[in-house]
Structure 1
Amino acid sequence: MTKKARFLPLVCVLLISGWFAPSASASAQTGLNLNDRAAISPAASGGILSLVSPVAPYTDTDTYYEGAEGKSGEALKSALHRIISGHTMLSYSEVWNALKETDADPANPNNVILLYTNESRSKNLNGGNVGDWNREHVWAKSHGDFGTSKGPGTDIHHLRPADVQVNSARGNLDFDNGGNEYAKAPGNYYDGDSWEPRDDVKGDVARMLFYMAVRYEGDDGYPDLELNDRTGNGSAPYHGKQSALLEWNRQDPVDARERKRNEIIYEKYQHNRNPFIDHPEWADDIWP
């Protein structure tokens, strides 16, 4: 048998294992973060593996939430609190650049998408003037009086870009159904003690508040933030209306934009996740 003939079976084995089976390098990458996986692709190793597409972003959420497995009610809430606490905290000025990435318009990377209006606006128009966008605290910062210092005041899981005037109109209102439509943000309604966001982000709003009520339990120097089934909570560390939020969570399922945002925050900024984006069903387990 010639050397070429002896070599052919080895080439076939390499082709089959590289093309049809998961490679060792791909398995190893599941433990890397998003940036590392982007830098290490099969093409970088040369040879036959250069034919395989780069590994997609991956988070092993089963492992991440291992401590919550099989729990419900207060036990689930406590387990999730332990999992998502201790995150990397940003300064309030660092939030600007974080939001420019987490809420970037996929159709125009120079813009961000505004929460209540769905408008795409230039990233450079951030500030406090009419026509600008600013940092909306979905859990109103006066509900617990935590301000804008590191912690709940800078937690980008509940901070979103919003038009300055719309943000001002929402103020520190609780969330509920009903009221008069706000002219500058069609689809959003308000009255004396509540704000109803447009349908496409009702679930987003609910899941952000669920996160805050689990992350901040008063055991690390921050207020114990809790949901309740009322509006008009003022400066108390409560936010409502719980029954409306649970309804919105069911009506407006998690979408790709939410999932991508959660991944960016986990991989690049805070290194913790919003459990209710990964498992929206947990809201009903905790707040039946």
Structure 2
Amino acid sequence: MKKAIYSILFINLSLSAFAQIPTGYYDNANGTGYALKTQLHEIIKANHTDRTYNGLKDLYKSTDPKNGFRDKYYENDDTVLDIYSENPTGRDPYNYIPGDNLGAGQEGGGYNREHLVPQSFFDEYKTNPMRTDAFHVWPTDGKVNGWRSNFAFGNVVNRNSASPCNSGATNTPCKSLNGTTKGKYITNNSITVVEPIDEFKGDIARALLYFSTRYEDMMPDFYRTTRSNSKVMFDGSTNKAFSDEFLNQLITWHVQDPVSQRELDINDLIYNYQGNRNPYIDNPDYVQRIWGTLSSTDFDYQDRTDISVINTNNQSVIVELKNNNKKIQQVSVYNLNGQLVQQEQNHNNSEKMEIKILTKGVYVIKVVGNGLEINRKVIIK
């Protein structure tokens, strides 16, 4: 690789430029706070077609070039993109061919359809269209899905000390083959949660925020009738929907892990499949406009050694590759509302890139490449 510094000029961009949002789709989303959330609810409910549960299997197998449920982003081998087995920085422990038999005998033994918001949270009140909604029903390893059961997603205490899960995942904290961890919630030892790998935390957060918006009028009834362990994520309200600590966690994940190309593709795929979109993928700033803004000190970023991100304190950031087996393909800059404000492709295959950021503020630097995706926070003074 060329050891050159590649300067990137500041470019004002909108994330929506990379997604196929129908003209006028969000024209009625002009409020703030919970009024905006209700406007989004009406928009994404209006043309949502309830598809069949079996139809999800065909969706996962689709050969559509925008099928983000197949791996076009890491190994690029078109296998099932499973959040419980994908290893963003190395070889996957196992893979599934779309159409493989669904199963759950052992890890790597088969995949099935996982509800990110467990069915047990809503099915005592009403089953459809939540059961078939592709925005929160994803193909995942059946065994790890079983380990997750109906527990909430959350940050696990002592995650780094987790050992491989036994057959029943009773030896918590324990982890799957890609590092997905089951254990006690970091702020409440009486709650069991499952923590996905950093790569998919933002994806999951935006899926859960979508669910609370699409079904906001039913959230109180779900909460009232459920006995699901996932109930701890929610507060029973129509508007806020989530408990304070879980809402803060989801927004943190949303900011830490900005919208990926996979999510943009899935958004377009599902729009063509069931007729609605995830507004938090199309317009990530809606999250802050509805639920409020995090302080720049509220979050940290995954520590990976493949990339060094150095703030020069001179309105620039140096991104340097530390692993010769990897390659930087693209660098993106996001503000704390999740909006893409700057992006550049690494056409010269440089292993060191200088990013010029001329406006003061706190930003998320997202580096994507062959076998890597890393997010770091920087402050431009």
Kindly, what percent of the aligned residue pairs are identical? Answer: 33
TM-score normalised per structure 1? 0.70
From 83, 92, 108, give the equivalent of 2:77: 108
Kindly indicate whether structure 1 or structure 2 has the higher relative contact order, using CA contacts under 8 Å at least 6 residues apart.
Answer: 2
Q: Is the 8 A contact 1:141 1:147 kept in 2?
A: no
- Residue 153 of structure 2 aligns with an amino acid whose one-letter code is F
Return the offset for 1:80. Answer: 0.1
From 234, 250, 254, give the equivalent of 1:249: 254
From 39, 50, 64, give the equivalent of 1:79: 39
* Distance in 2, Cα, partners of 1:168 & 1:239: 24
Q: Is the 8 A contact 2:175 2:181 kept in 1?
A: no
Which residue pairs with 1:50 in the alignment?
Answer: none
Q: Name the count of aligned residue pairs.
A: 225
Return the offset for 1:125. Answer: 1.9
Which residue pairs with 1:191 in the alignment?
Answer: 183
Quick check: which has more Rg, 1 or 2? 1
Q: 1:201 to 1:262 in 2, by over 3 A?
A: same
Which residue pairs with 2:98 in the alignment?
Answer: 123
* Distance in 2, Cα, partners of 1:163 & 1:147: 27
* Distance in 2, Cα, partners of 1:125 & 1:208: 25
Point out where structure 2 has 5 or more consecutive residues left out of the alignment: 1-16, 87-91, 163-173, 185-191, 293-381
From 31, 45, 65, give the equivalent of 2:26: 65
* Distance in 2, Cα, partners of 1:282 & 1:61: 17
* Distance in 2, Cα, partners of 1:99 & 1:162: 11
Superposition CA RMSD, Å = 2.9
- Residue 82 of structure 1 aligns with an amino acid whose one-letter code is E
Which residue pairs with 2:148 in the alignment?
Answer: 170
Which residue pairs with 2:136 in the alignment?
Answer: 158
Which residue pairs with 2:56 in the alignment?
Answer: 95
Return the offset for 1:75. Answer: 0.7
SS at 2:277 equivalent: coil
Q: 1:58 to 1:176 in 2, by over 3 A?
A: closer
Deviations 1:20-71 (A, max 9, x none): xxxxxxxxxxxxxxxxxxxxxxxxxxxxxxxxxxxx99734561101002x1
User: Which has the higher mean CA deviation after the structures are superposed, 152-161 or 92-101?
Assistant: 92-101
SS at 1:114 equivalent: coil
* Distance in 2, Cα, partners of 1:223 & 1:98: 30
Higher strand share: 2
Q: 1:210 to 1:137 in 2, by over 3 A?
A: same
SS at 1:89 equivalent: coil
Which residue pairs with 1:12 in the alignment?
Answer: none
Deviations 1:215-238 (A, max 9, x none): 00236x995579xxxx85269867
Deviations 1:118-147 (A, max 9, x none): 154111224124311000101111122369
* Distance in 2, Cα, partners of 1:135 & 1:147: 21
Which residue pairs with 2:231 in the alignment?
Answer: 233
Which residue pairs with 2:291 in the alignment?
Answer: 287
- Residue 197 of structure 2 aligns with an amino acid whose one-letter code is R
Return the offset for 1:100. Answer: 2.4
SS at 1:88 equivalent: coil
* Distance in 2, Cα, partners of 1:155 & 1:116: 20
* Distance in 2, Cα, partners of 1:146 & 1:276: 28
* Distance in 1, Cα, partners of 2:200 & 2:139: 13
Point out where structure 1 has 5 or more consecutive residues left out of the alignment: 1-55
- Residue 203 of structure 1 aligns with an amino acid whose one-letter code is G
Q: Is the 8 A contact 1:172 1:234 kept in 2?
A: no
- Residue 175 of structure 1 aligns with an amino acid whose one-letter code is F
Return the offset for 1:105. Answer: 2.2
TM-score normalised per structure 2? 0.54
* Distance in 1, Cα, partners of 2:230 & 2:56: 28
SS at 1:212 equivalent: helix
SS at 1:66 equivalent: coil
Deviations 1:141-173 (A, max 9, x none): 112236994301110001111101110111111
2:279 maps to 1:275: yes
* Distance in 2, Cα, partners of 1:128 & 1:147: 28
Return the offset for 1:246. Answer: 0.6
- Residue 123 of structure 2 aligns with an amino acid whose one-letter code is D
Return the offset for 1:264. Answer: 0.7
Which residue pairs with 1:263 in the alignment?
Answer: 268
User: Which has the higher mean CA deviation after the structures are superposed, 179-188 or 202-211?
Assistant: 179-188
